[in-house]
Structure 1
Amino acid sequence: MVGKYDLVIVNGRIIDGSGNPWYKANIGIQDGKISVITKSKINGEIEIDASGLVITPGFIDIHSHSDMGLRNLIYNKATYRVMQGITTEAVGNCGSSAYGWTKKYAEKYEERLKKFGLEYKINWTRLSEWKKKVEERGYAINIAPFVGFGTIRTSVLGEEGEGGERSDIDERELNEMKKLLREAMEDGAFGMTAGLEYDVQRNAYTEELIEMCRVVAEYHGLFMAHIRSEDEMLIEAVKEFIRICREAGVSGSISHHKACHPNSWGKPYETIRLIREARMSGIDVICDQYPWLKVAVLNVGEFFRTEGEEEISSKEREKILEYMKDDEKWRKMKEEAIKRNQMEEEYIEKKKRELAKRGTPFRMPWNPTTYFVIAHSKTHPEYVDKNFTEVAKLMGVEDPWEAMRKLYIMDNGETTVAEGYMREEDVIEIMKAPFTAISTDGGTEDEPKALHPRNYGTYPQFLGYYVRERKVVELEEAIRKITSLPARFLNLKDRGLLREGYWADIVIFDEREIANLATYEKPCTYPKGIKYVIVNGEIVVENGKHTGKLPGKVLKYTR
């Protein structure tokens, strides 16, 4: 025991992340690590009095998109993340990573960023090079990088229409994909992720994924996937994921597990049973979820394109509003949107039949007028959770696209929709399972741009609403789900628990006060109740304010 520690935390109740009941003790931190946990009096250069507060390990988010759009490099304070207690995040999710690509893919990615007003020179291809960039700039929290299957597959085959639409690939192409994957694993990737409802990735047969995951297994790595379907073929998609893990010999996590369409409601009772049975048979499969009833939120303008635009940006929304107010421009823009949607539906039906021949499931079409539901309308809040076909009936108009137009104009271009919505009974059923971790499916920025409240308040939503108010699980079990459970899955041997010798990633909060304040109307609102967040022994949040410190590390997978 040293005479004076760098930092001490005294008088608090420790919930150590193991699931054990809380106990009272003091924590001494030295050189970024927990040096001592003791009931004896200790002194430090800095002392935090945690009287009346709970001390826990830092929260670990295994499903983050903070690398998307190079946000780790641009918004390095990770404000959205650390203010809700996150000290470690896994990136590269849903098959999309900011590395593990070819030079040609990197050039295309750079051009795409320019359309969104981001000028950034991408002069790397490998994870090791990206890691160096992040470390040079500094980052507020720790990062566990995964490599994306979609990034790799698109790098080798091209986008859909350029080769990425193919399901049958040759041995040379598969070997090129494996080469990129091996490079990432050699550079310290934790494993591979996939987004099997998305372009290019959705076209891969199950056998292709098994082959790729066998490479991951060579490094004792992990596989995380946004599965093939979260609606009508949810059960088949879970079975496919378990099959991949079993045949490839990898540990896996089903990302943001949910039933997000009425035709899948009630199915989590079966999917949780399937995961439990897989675990009993020796397959290391878990899942994560976010504690919300709506899926990703987007502006209605994203259904449309103005002349010459292939992708929507925030600046384009003003143009779309202008086009909607002009009858002729609206007619052309609507016709183009309907045509694009019809082409997508035809493609999905074709691929569904093709992949079904080999037992690979496929998602249903995401029709803008029937699949998406209103997340926020400032002029008509009564339309929330209704699709545009239902809104059209309430408005007394025949065409749901016209209902969309009317509402968007009334809301001055601020109408948002969700890609599906869940039943709370299903959310709770998944949450209660001992193998379910809590994740955000969000990302990092330092500016208020989010559309979904999960970006600001996932962990306070879980701890405040589902734990304190709904009493779905005890607080100690809740803390395990957001600390040692994800740490165990990620094979982090010195994080996720409050133990002597572990890195000092710590959250101090008031369990009576902690609450999410973000809503779909005002998603960019910080939570309350989190007093301190410590990353690698450095105070990053102090009395609810970001200190500006950047002590995070890019972690390397340990086998």
Structure 2
Amino acid sequence: MSYILIKNGLIYDGSGEQPYQSDVLIEGERVIEIAPDIEREDAQVIDASGKAVTPGFIDIHRHCDIAPFTNPHFGEIELAQGITTTFVGNCGLAPVPSVPSWRKELYDYLEPVIGRLPDDMAFETYEDYRKALEAADLPLNMGFFAASDSIKIALKGFGSKAYTAEELKTAQEYVKSALAQGAFGVTLGIMYQPECYSNREELTTVVKAVAGNGGILCTHIRGEGDSLVESVEEVIDVAAKAGVPLNISHLKSTGIKNWNSRIFEAIQRIEQARESGQDVTADFYPYDGGSTTLQSLLPPTIMEESFEALVKGLSGPEGKQRLRSELNKVHQGWDNMSESIGWDRIIISSVTLEKHIFMQGQTIAALAEKLGYEEPSDLVADLLVEENGKVGIIVLSMSQQDVDAVARLPFTLLISDSLYGGDGKNAHPRLLGTTARFLNDFVIKRKVLSMEQAISKMTYQPAKRMGLEDRGLLRPGYQADVLVFQPESFLDHADYTGKHDLCTGMDLVLVGGKQVLADGILVDRTSGKLLRKGFN
């Protein structure tokens, strides 16, 4: 058995307690001792003088569902950020389950979020997906959720019709089959088609399949702007009636008129639920802009029974006029991003056609003016038609003060919510720099949090939320997912303008006791493993 001895580091153990100077001895894939002045002649010694030693960062919300199979560079941007464990199947969106009748439309729909699946790749069942991940060389640990939106597409397509009683039973069976393969719970994407048409009763019935299995509900809520408070109340109610722990994904308040007000009402509702004994947490990312698909800007009345019909309905003068008209109406429970923040705060981040590459990194308002459109929504219609809906966007929709308020909450944890569509060159900077930005901006520069608080929000708190009993803390007996770095030198270099350089300053990353990144260079791509709820 091999030994690694990390000497003289400042230990941030993940608990949120004050750091302390000590040595860390690792045997195989486990930490076996933490104490001052450890000596062991047969150990590889790493001098961590003047550096922080922490557990590996855990990001429970990325969209790298297919990256292990399609991206030969998968692991580089994640490990450069110190991310040693991540979870996929978020926001109700995943490439599984897929049925032949809806597979192409599902994968086209998901492309701006997870990337393009090769024509010869398909995941029909959760067993298929689990086996594929187990067979892949994983550079970091991965876990997955059952994705309820994708389940509904497999059963109903993209239409607005509610589940029949029999279909609801089948949806529950899909969730149970995911849990049997090791899924950590279920996610909802209530903002997205077709789940945006689901009512509370339907959502609750699907989520009940997780009850009693130790899983969790993570959910993208219905609205994050005008309807934020009602949307938070909805998912608290769903989780309570289903009897399942709740984590609210990327808690935020969008829309300029809602800044510095509505988020505090939402927080109050969460705190009331927690005070009543309900298990509710939330997560956030350290940016004032989000990232999603261009389709999410469409009112629900524009949606059609199929993706193909949606694109066809946007074609021509009549389709454009219909979109204009519907964007000028109020739709109960739906946030109109074009109205709440304006086209000048919505940036095109990913496209698939060569002729549209020039649009990446530019706002819809600027592009509409440049290309001679009188109405920016006409550009949106044309772009969705020509790109078959495969367009990613960045929305500068939040107030930094609101983000800080969420970050300070004791029950919130850090995520990246990274999208993997497009070529990555104009991706949201959270894909490349979330953890470094969090420490550099929120801790070192602006002192929103202490270093130990921030480290805990990336290690122990997400581990606890996911039920990972041997990760997230630096303690004897825990998995040796370990980082060594100098916090002031750990920097992000990506921004909204299209700058997409990797983080720098991560000196050492261990995954399962193996060195996978040393001095910023990836040296091992195979030390991660699939984490399965109830199987690890």
TM-score by length of 2: 0.83
Corresponding residue of 1:158: 157
1:167-182 correspondence runs (5 A): 168-182=162-176
Opposite residue 78 of structure 1, the aligned amino acid is: G
Rounded Cα–Cα distance in structure 1 between residues aligned with 2:317 and 2:533: 49
1:116-127 correspondence runs (5 A): 118-127=117-126
Opposite residue 179 of structure 1, the aligned amino acid is: E
1:296-307 correspondence runs (5 A): 296=291
> Percent of aligned positions with the same letter in both sequences?
29
* Post-superposition offset of 1:128: 2.7
* Post-superposition offset of 1:509: 1.5
Opposite residue 23 of structure 1, the aligned amino acid is: Y
**Residues 343 and 510 from structure 1, CA distance in 2 versus in 1: closer, same or farther, beyond 3 angstroms?**
same
CA contact (8 A) 1:81 1:456 kept: yes
Corresponding residue of 2:144: 145
Corresponding residue of 2:304: none
Q: Give SS of 2:54's match.
A: strand
1:75-224 correspondence runs (5 A): 75=71, 77-106=74-103, 108-109=105-106, 118-160=117-159, 165-166=160-161, 168-224=162-218
Opposite residue 437 of structure 1, the aligned amino acid is: L
Q: Deviations for 1:62-109, whole angstroms, at most 9, x for unmatched residues?
A: 111111xx2232226322211111111111001012323445444654
Q: How many residue pairs are counted as aligned between the two chains?
A: 495
1:38-53 correspondence runs (5 A): 38-43=35-40, 44-53=42-51
Rounded Cα–Cα distance in structure 1 between residues aligned with 2:421 and 2:45: 30
**Residues 212 and 25 from structure 1, CA distance in 2 versus in 1: closer, same or farther, beyond 3 angstroms?**
same
Q: Which of the residues 25, 30, 34 maps onto 2:31?
A: 34
Opposite residue 505 of structure 1, the aligned amino acid is: D
* 432-441 vs 529-538, which moves further: 529-538
Corresponding residue of 1:292: 287
* Post-superposition offset of 1:220: 2.3
* 39-48 vs 80-89, which moves further: 39-48
Opposite residue 288 of structure 1, the aligned amino acid is: D
1:12 counterpart = 2:9: yes
Opposite residue 535 of structure 1, the aligned amino acid is: V
1:401 counterpart = 2:401: no
1:276 counterpart = 2:247: no
Opposite residue 158 of structure 1, the aligned amino acid is: G
CA contact (8 A) 2:347 2:395 kept: no
Rounded Cα–Cα distance in structure 2 between residues aligned with 1:436 and 1:41: 36
Corresponding residue of 1:547: 523
CA contact (8 A) 1:297 1:375 kept: no
Q: Give SS of 1:508's match.
A: strand
**Residues 461 and 129 from structure 1, CA distance in 2 versus in 1: closer, same or farther, beyond 3 angstroms?**
same
1:338 counterpart = 2:320: yes
**Residues 272 and 337 from structure 1, CA distance in 2 versus in 1: closer, same or farther, beyond 3 angstroms?**
same
**Residues 46 and 370 from structure 1, CA distance in 2 versus in 1: closer, same or farther, beyond 3 angstroms?**
same
Opposite residue 52 of structure 1, the aligned amino acid is: G
CA contact (8 A) 1:60 1:482 kept: yes
* 421-430 vs 98-107, which moves further: 98-107
* 332-341 vs 199-208, which moves further: 332-341
**Residues 547 and 375 from structure 1, CA distance in 2 versus in 1: closer, same or farther, beyond 3 angstroms?**
farther
Corresponding residue of 2:494: 518
In structure 2, list runs of 5 or more residues that go unmatched.
299-306, 309-313, 349-360, 384-390
1:453-492 correspondence runs (5 A): 453-492=429-468
Q: Which of the residues 60, 63, 66 maps onto 2:61?
A: 63
* 211-220 vs 138-147, which moves further: 211-220
* Post-superposition offset of 1:517: 1.3
* Post-superposition offset of 1:254: 0.7
Rounded Cα–Cα distance in structure 1 between residues aligned with 2:119 and 2:179: 25
Rounded Cα–Cα distance in structure 2 between residues aligned with 1:32 and 1:50: 19
Rounded Cα–Cα distance in structure 2 between residues aligned with 1:285 and 1:114: 31
1:235-314 correspondence runs (5 A): 235-265=229-259, 266-296=261-291
* Post-superposition offset of 1:335: 3.7
**Residues 128 and 402 from structure 1, CA distance in 2 versus in 1: closer, same or farther, beyond 3 angstroms?**
closer
Corresponding residue of 2:512: 536
Q: Deviations for 1:366-411, whole angstroms, at most 9, x for unmatched residues?
A: 448964444669xxxxxx998739996xx9x993439979xx9xxx
CA contact (8 A) 2:111 2:421 kept: no
Rounded Cα–Cα distance in structure 1 between residues aligned with 2:135 and 2:367: 51
* Post-superposition offset of 1:209: 1.1
Opposite residue 264 of structure 1, the aligned amino acid is: N
Opposite residue 58 of structure 1, the aligned amino acid is: G
* Post-superposition offset of 1:420: 4.3
CA contact (8 A) 1:491 1:558 kept: no
* Post-superposition offset of 1:40: 2.8
Q: Give SS of 2:500's match.
A: coil
Rounded Cα–Cα distance in structure 1 between residues aligned with 2:293 and 2:237: 33
CA contact (8 A) 1:258 1:268 kept: yes
Opposite residue 100 of structure 1, the aligned amino acid is: P
**Residues 533 and 236 from structure 1, CA distance in 2 versus in 1: closer, same or farther, beyond 3 angstroms?**
same
* 168-177 vs 227-236, which moves further: 168-177
Corresponding residue of 1:355: none
Corresponding residue of 1:232: 226
Rounded Cα–Cα distance in structure 1 between residues aligned with 2:152 and 2:15: 39
Q: Give SS of 1:512's match.
A: helix
* Post-superposition offset of 1:198: 0.5
Rounded Cα–Cα distance in structure 2 between residues aligned with 1:485 and 1:184: 24
Q: Give SS of 2:488's match.
A: coil
* 21-30 vs 224-233, which moves further: 21-30
Rounded Cα–Cα distance in structure 2 between residues aligned with 1:489 and 1:437: 9
* Post-superposition offset of 1:6: 2.6
